[in-house]
């Protein structure tokens, strides 16, 4: 049984249909990169899976349990965590307080404040600093740490590189490497195609609310991905690689 099964998912922002009939399955331990141009529907899809945005049609099953209408806190309790675009930390609270709050919402497991500090050593000295005073890289590490504190089975990362310098992006990905190899199931939205193809086992490319290309990262050529990304040529589901 797959960990996550999304069937014919429709998600709207008012009249605008941001996600159109999207279906896919993700197995335990996979790393999937979700790519696509601005406005393709990536953030909306992740938010719908997390329960942060209502679903207009279709179904979501997690670990065999239907969660389509479950509120987000229940999904966190089942093991679904989202690191949202823009991090959304409690700016007036310390790093430790942000992490502790998440613990209360999630499941029991290996992730503790100490484990987060080990994964992101740059946070150690900032543990009692208010989140609003942190650098971009420290904020992103705190946002990822907060999601980890819920002990997720599925971790979704929405553009963790956004607004960070190349050096800091390297550091964040170096810390993520441990997660990527530890068996945590991950969906990550990444604008840097080279990085996405490097870290992910599979790639989904969205265009105008649909998944127009999916395949194993090792099997996809840069040309195929670029065509799907920009909606050039005939890249569609027919072009999906086995």
Per CB under 6 A, the segment of 20-28, 35-43, 192-200, 226-234 that binds ligand ATP is 35-43
Task: Tell me if 218 contacts ligand ATP by CB under 6 A.
Answer: no
Closer CB to ligand ATP, residue 16 or residue 218?
16
Q: Residue 16 forms beta bridges with which residues?
A: 13
CB of 14 to ligand ATP, least distance (A): 6
Pairing of strands 185-189, 31-35: parallel
Among 6, 18, 26, 228, binds ligand ATP (CB under 6 A): 18
Q: Which residue has the tokens 């965590």?
A: 81
Structure tokens at 53: 């945005």
**What is the C-alpha separation between 117 and 124, in angstroms, rounded?**
6
Task: Tell me if 42 contacts ligand ATP by CB under 6 A.
Answer: yes
Q: Residue 12 forms beta bridges with which residues?
A: 17
Per CB under 6 A, the segment of 31-39, 60-68, 100-108, 195-203 that binds ligand ATP is 31-39
Total H helices, total E strands in the chain: 8, 10
Closer CB to ligand ATP, residue 53 or residue 75?
53
CB of 54 to ligand ATP, least distance (A): 12
CB of 139 to ligand ATP, least distance (A): 18
Among 9, 22, 24, 44, binds ligand ATP (CB under 6 A): 44
Distant-in-sequence contacts of 118-126, Cβ < 8 A, 24+ apart? 119/145, 119/148, 119/175, 119/178, 119/179, 120/144, 120/145, 120/175, 122/171, 123/95, 126/95
Per-residue contact string for residues 63-102; x = within reach of ligand ATP by CB under 6 A: ----------------------x-----------------
CB of 170 to ligand ATP, least distance (A): 21
Task: Tell me if 161 contacts ligand ATP by CB under 6 A.
Answer: no
Closer CB to ligand ATP, residue 168 or residue 206?
206
Task: Tell me if 13 contacts ligand ATP by CB under 6 A.
Answer: yes
Give the total of residues touching ligand ATP (CB under 6 A): 12
Return all residues near 193 (Cβ < 8 A) that are at least 6 apart.
35, 222, 225, 226, 229
Can you give the length of the chain in residues? 242
Task: Tell me if 38 contacts ligand ATP by CB under 6 A.
Answer: yes
**What is the C-alpha separation between 73 and 50, in angstroms, rounded?**
9
**What is the C-alpha separation between 150 and 235, in angstroms, rounded?**
38
Residues near ligand ATP (CB under 6 A) = 13, 16, 18, 36, 38-44, 85
């Amino acid at each position: 049984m797959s960990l996550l099964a999304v069937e014919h998912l429709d998600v709207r922002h008012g009249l605008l249909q941001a996600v159109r009939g999207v279906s896919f399955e993700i197995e335990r331990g996979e790393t999937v990169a979700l790519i696509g141009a601005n406005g393709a529907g990536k953030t909306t899809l992740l938010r719908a899976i997390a329960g942060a945005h209502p679903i207009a049609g279709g179904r979501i099953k997690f670990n065999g349990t239907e969660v389509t209408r479950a509120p987000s806190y229940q999904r966190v309790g089942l093991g679904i965590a989202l690191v949202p675009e823009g991090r959304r930390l409690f700016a007036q609270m310390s790093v430790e307080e942000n992490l502790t709050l998440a613990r209360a919402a999630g499941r029991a497991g290996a992730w503790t404040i100490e484990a987060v500090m080990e994964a992101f050593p740059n946070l150690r000295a900032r543990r009692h600093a208010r989140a609003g005073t942190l650098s971009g890289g420290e904020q992103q590490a705190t946002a990822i740490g907060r999601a980890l504190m819920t002990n997720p089975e599925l971790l979704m990362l929405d553009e963790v590189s956004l607004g960070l310098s190349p050096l800091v992006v390297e550091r964040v990905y170096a810390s993520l490497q441990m997660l990527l190899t530890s068996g945590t199931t991950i969906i990550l939205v990444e604008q840097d195609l080279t990085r996405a193809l490097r870290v992910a086992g599979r790639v989904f490319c969205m265009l105008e609310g649909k998944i127009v290309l999916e395949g194993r990262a090792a099997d996809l050529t840069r040309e195929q991905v670029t065509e799907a990304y920009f909606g050039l040529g005939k890249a569609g589901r027919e072009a999906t690689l086995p």
